[in-house]
Amino acid sequence: MTAPLRVGETTTVPVALGARAYDIAIGRGLLAELGKRIAALKPGASAAIVTDETVAARHLEAAAASLAKAGIRAIPLIVPPGETTKSWRILEEVCDRLLEARIERNDVVIALGGGVVGDLAGFAAAIVRRGLDVVQVPTTLLAQVDSSVGGKTAINSRHGKNLVGAFHQPIHVIADTALLDTLPPREFRAGYAELAKFGLLGDAGFFAWLEANRQDVFAGGSASGSLAREHAIAVACRGKAGIVARDERETGERALLNLGHTFGHAFEAAAGFSDKLLHGEAVALGIVCAFEFSTRLGLVAGNDAGRVAQHLAAAGLPTRLSEVPALRTDPDTLMSLIAQDKKVQRGKLTFILVRGIGQAFVARDVDAAQVRAFLSEKLN
């Protein structure tokens, strides 16, 4: 945990990756500084703004104005909203449009949007002309605390989520917390699951702080709410930046960031990567499953699983599979999807399990029969 922010303060969180190091800027009103920041990083560069239709209607004009003020040529590339946009078809379209716009290797791609846009634009930047610089401007809570940081970019396959992609670090992340004021409540709740995840995987004190301050984090618009929200985002970004700096390519510690995701990605795939189940909602379900499965294995003493489920439910997130009609499926379908998870090694299942709140660990060679039995019970 760190000291809370002060009113009007912009926090800079460094991601220490040597030659690929960059800063995360966190604060209200930072979109207006987009042009100035890019001009300082990339003098003379042009910019392609990849965004979706929903975000474009709210924030594209302000982003373009900031770039124009800094003398930066900007080309908007607008894609449809939603998880299905992370596809081969849309990736090809974005790549073609970057080439048509004559975006060169010394130019920059701006990912203005949530996790879908960040993943798609980041992957396109990784492969067009063998690599373009990308600036992440996350517009959702989920993207500000998780997907915009760390360089993971990907699209989905019919075989599962995020199975085709590349590590491609941004050169800067601008987390304007004022953009969250226009976020639909369901989207904010979904992002909160990723925020809570940081406390649950390695910072029990932060999770306890969230239990005491969740309502202020959700309020946002008030002075106390704004400070609580920015403080929570800064804590999560510092936590992730530290892990990424120590394990950029997820060969060890970084896997802990996938708490709830092995279950969650299978749930998303079963729901057809649709708005029937948002990514953050799937992560919330996956986190509860990870705690309950760990408890079943005798790894967790006490009622930490119940405490976690109670907190996420109070935040308006699903905590039982029966709450999601799209998950009326069978355990074998879910097990088939889990077998496609990126953490599977030589056919052996790997899960992020816990010994308690703030005590996640990587569990390799998890017994598939035990997982199937657990899911069978949860589906009934």
Residues with a catalytic annotation lie at 130, 152, 194, 240, 250, 254, 258, 261, 265, 279
Residues paired with 15 in a beta bridge: 22
Tell me the three state secondary structure of residue 167: strand
What CA–CA distance (Å, rounded) separates 64 from 61?
5
Of all residues in the chain, what percent are helix, strand and coil, respectively (each to 5)?
55, 20, 30
DSSP codes joined into one string, 72-111: --EEEEEE--SGGGSSHHHHHHHHHHHHHTT--TTSEEEE
Residues paired with 164 in a beta bridge: 155
DSSP structure class, residue 146: I
Other CB atoms within a 10 A radius of the CB of residue 2 amount to 11
Per-residue tokens: 97: 């449009």
Burial class (CB in 10 A: 0-12, 13-18, 19+), 49: buried
Helices (H), 128-252: 141-142, 185-202, 204-219, 223-246
What CA–CA distance (Å, rounded) separates 172 from 127?
18
